[in-house]
Chain A
Amino acid sequence: MLTKENGDMLNIALPKGRLGDQVYELLSGIGYDCKSIYEQNRKLIFENPQNNVRYLLVKPSDVAIYVEHHAADVGIVGKDILLESRPDVYELLDLNLGKCRMCVAAKTDYIEDRDRPLRVATKFVNIAKEYYASQNRDIDIIKLNGSIELAPILGLSDVIVDIVESGSTIRENNLKVVEEFQQISARFIANKISFKFKNQIISQMVQRLSEALTER
């Protein structure tokens, strides 16, 4: 929870990892830099009082949680996570970074048997359910947390639903993309209450970000 004395700073939840680095480069280029973030240490909070920003480094899948619960005012998160958890936040901008696709993949020689429920292994349970419900296809879900590509190889499932960037992991494991059904990219989100109380700062950030994005 934000306390009174840090209430005026803008708290930005940044996903740890490559996407977070790209987003930070983008933000620092438009006036929200925070040099201390380059220091090699295990700190999770970095702030620059000069331009009133504080970066929080969090696990990518937790960004939306921090923002929804008001621990961060704004954040950058993949569309896959927004679709999966449907947090109650404002989705203000598509940053066109971290682009990939939500796909159905199966073994290269896979032929679907429409006479029985499809077994689907995935990390994205809700997305998979919603997608197959829209196809009127009966499925059994197997929730996995990683190495999803193993499931069809070992016969654990018929297909997997997962994000695919270049497709090399899929190919190297003798799988093929059967269906692409959703484009994924990084989104700029804001807490609904912060958006009202810190509207000027957040709107300015959105404005500068969209200008920077059209220039690129």
Chain B
Amino acid sequence: MDTLRPEELATLKLRGLYERYGYKKYRMGRFEEYSLYAKNQSFLAGENIITFTDLDGKLLALKPDVTLSIIKNSKAAKEGREKLYYIESVYRESKESHTYREISQMGLEVMGDVDIYAVAEVLALAEQSLAQLSEDYLLEVSNMDFVTGLMSSMELTAGQTEEILRLIRSKNSLELRTAAQKAGLSEEESAALGALPSLYGTFPQTLARAEELARNETMQRAIDDLRAIYQAMEAMGLAEKLQLDFSLLNDIDYYNGVIFQGCLAQLPRNVLAGGQYDGMVRRLNKDCGGIGFAIYLSEMNRIALPQASCDVEALVLYESGSQLPQLLSAIQSLAGQGMRVRAETELPKQLRYQRLYRFAGGRLIQETAGGKEDAGC
């Protein structure tokens, strides 16, 4: 087990976790019809997709996203929920290198009737997933309805809305107030928007501050839902690393309700992201809702692991023409003791080993410490 990388170990543990909550593994092909993505571009992380023409003339794409395919293929309806999880590769452009990259992703989705229990369950699973990845994590939560509720009474053009959302996301209070005034919003509305970037912190305290800003039923319901979820998480002992941040916003056409992001102290970017996406499900002509999250396993590669002190425990040098049955069984017996064994005819360069054996006369002889060849680690 200790030769597994953290992301491989996480995959195994998380599968167990999701199965225990009744989620079924969902496996899908690498290709999907391009039109699915072309129609829903702003749901995706980037614009560029690898496309190709199949032999029958259909335009296909290498999946840049899993959730869309699951929504499309799901048989869920209001009456019947589907609970799925997946481990898949997706293909996206890397903004830094301007090349395509293969990203390995794991995630789960609940599709059908999304009630507050479903939201709380997904959130609890997200947090337990993070806890498997590292001790030093945070799960940030927001409710999109709070911000959309606030903006619903404001008359803004699409461009202004986009600009305001971008400023909220970058916690730029000053420019947010200026942009609000420029858009002709009232003093009170500008102040409410300008307060959003600083609405973050622990649940009880932030919710109390947010409640003062609530000016309609949607906003109040968003707060009540968050409070109910927090109480449930608290009862499960999962409240300590839970934070609220109203500047966390996804695309407002697709997402609604509770959204969240998870991060680890060692990593520069979020390792988990998710939320409720009823808007997206409805766009694909399904009369139900959906919530889920994805974990970016590739990000875990960035965690620096402690340097292994050696590559193998045992290095066996044999001469060509040695008795094959004895040699193989000797090596098997070393491996059987739990050692990593490498058999070579001559000393490999750049291989770090603990013990050196020579195979001679049908048996293994260990080179003594301090000997000439004892260059091991």
Contacts and interface: CB of A to CB of B under 8 A. Distances in A.
Given A1-B304, A196-B243, A94 B266 contact: no
B302 A1 contact: yes
Contacts of A1: 266, 268, 302, 304
Contact of A196 (B138, B170, B268, B304): B138
Interface in A1-47: 1-3, 7
B74 interface: no
A86 B281 CA distance: 30
Contacts of A212: none
Contacts of A2: 266
Contact of B267 (A7, A91, A93, A193): A193
Contacts of B174: 93-94
Contacts of B30: none
Interface residues of A, number: 19
B171 A7 contact: no
A197 B174 CA distance: 24
B171 A92 contact: yes
Given A1-B302, A196-B243, A197-B138, A7 B170 contact: no
Nearest to A94: B174
A141 interface: no
B171 A90 contact: yes
Interface string A55-96: 000000000000011100000000000000000111111100
A69 B302 CA distance: 11
B104 to A, nearest CB: 20
B109 interface: no
A70 B302 CA distance: 12
B193 to A, nearest CB: 15
A157 interface: no
Contacts of A69: 268
A68 B267 CA distance: 11
B95 to A, nearest CB: 9
Interface string A85-109: 0001111111000000000000000
A132 to B, nearest CB: 15
A196 B243 CA distance: 9
B347 interface: no
B101 interface: no
B270 to A, nearest CB: 8
A2 B303 CA distance: 10
Interface residues of B, number: 18
B140 interface: yes
Contacts of B267: 70, 193
B186 to A, nearest CB: 23
B118 interface: no
Contacts of B11: none
A196 B140 contact: yes
A191 interface: yes
Interface in B245-285: 263, 265-270
Interface string B123-148: 00000000000001010100000000
A91 B172 contact: yes
Q: Which one of A1, A192, A197 has the highest number of Cβ atoms from chain B below 10 Å of its Cβ?
A: A192
B263 A193 contact: yes
Nearest to B261: A192
B265 A91 contact: no
A196 to B, nearest CB: 5
Contacts of A70: 267-269
Interface string A173-216: 00000000000000000011100110000000000000000000
Interface of B: 136, 138, 140, 170-172, 174-175, 243, 263, 265-270, 302, 304
21 contacts: A1-B268, A1-B302, A1-B304, A70-B267, A89-B170, A90-B170, A90-B172, A91-B170, A91-B171, A93-B174, A94-B175, A192-B270, A193-B263, A193-B265, A193-B268, A193-B269, A193-B270, A196-B243, A196-B263, A197-B136, A197-B138
Given A92-B172, A192-B263, 10 more contacts: A1-B266, A1-B302, A1-B304, A68-B268, A70-B268, A88-B269, A89-B170, A192-B270, A193-B270, A196-B243
A-B pairs, top 5 by smallest CB distance, nearest first, are A70-B268, A90-B171, A91-B172, A91-B170, A197-B265
